């Protein structure tokens, strides 16, 4: 039962507008959290940005930071 509750607290979004191939994990534990990551490079997962979401709309600064980090790993959005 405890593991089922944990899974209910996690959601996934397959399209993140900052970077092609990026994904978002949505955590609903002690508030709203987001983790933007990309996993299309061989056997590596890059976490581009993780943040506490305080409003309904994702801040522009959070999206821009993920996009900058995406470019730093050698990807071209």
What pLDDT does residue 4 have? Answer: 39
pLDDT tens-digit profile of 15-31? 667 788 888 888 888 88
Query: How many of the other CB atoms lie within 10 Å of CB of 15?
Result: 9
What pLDDT does residue 64 have? Answer: 92
- Give the number of domains in the chain: 1
List the one residue out of 20, 13, 73, 8 whose CA is nearest residue 45: 73
77 located within any domain: no
pLDDT tens-digit profile of 13-71? 666 677 888 888 888 888 899 999 988 767 888 999 999 998 888 899 999 999 999 99
Task: Write down the pTM of the prediction.
Answer: 0.75
Return the half-sphere exposure (C-beta side, CA atoms, 13 A cut-off) of residue 55.
Answer: 5
18 located within any domain: yes
Range of the domain at 68: 2-72
């Amino acid at each position: 039962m405890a593991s089922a509750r944990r899974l209910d607290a996690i959601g996934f979004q397959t399209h993140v507008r900052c970077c092609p191939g990026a994904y978002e994990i949505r955590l609903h534990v002690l508030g709203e959290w987001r983790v933007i990551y990309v996993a299309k490079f061989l056997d590596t997962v890059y976490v581009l940005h993780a943040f506490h979401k305080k409003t309904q709309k994702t801040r522009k600064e959070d999206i821009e930071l993920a996009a900058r980090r995406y470019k730093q790993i050698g990807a071209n959005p």
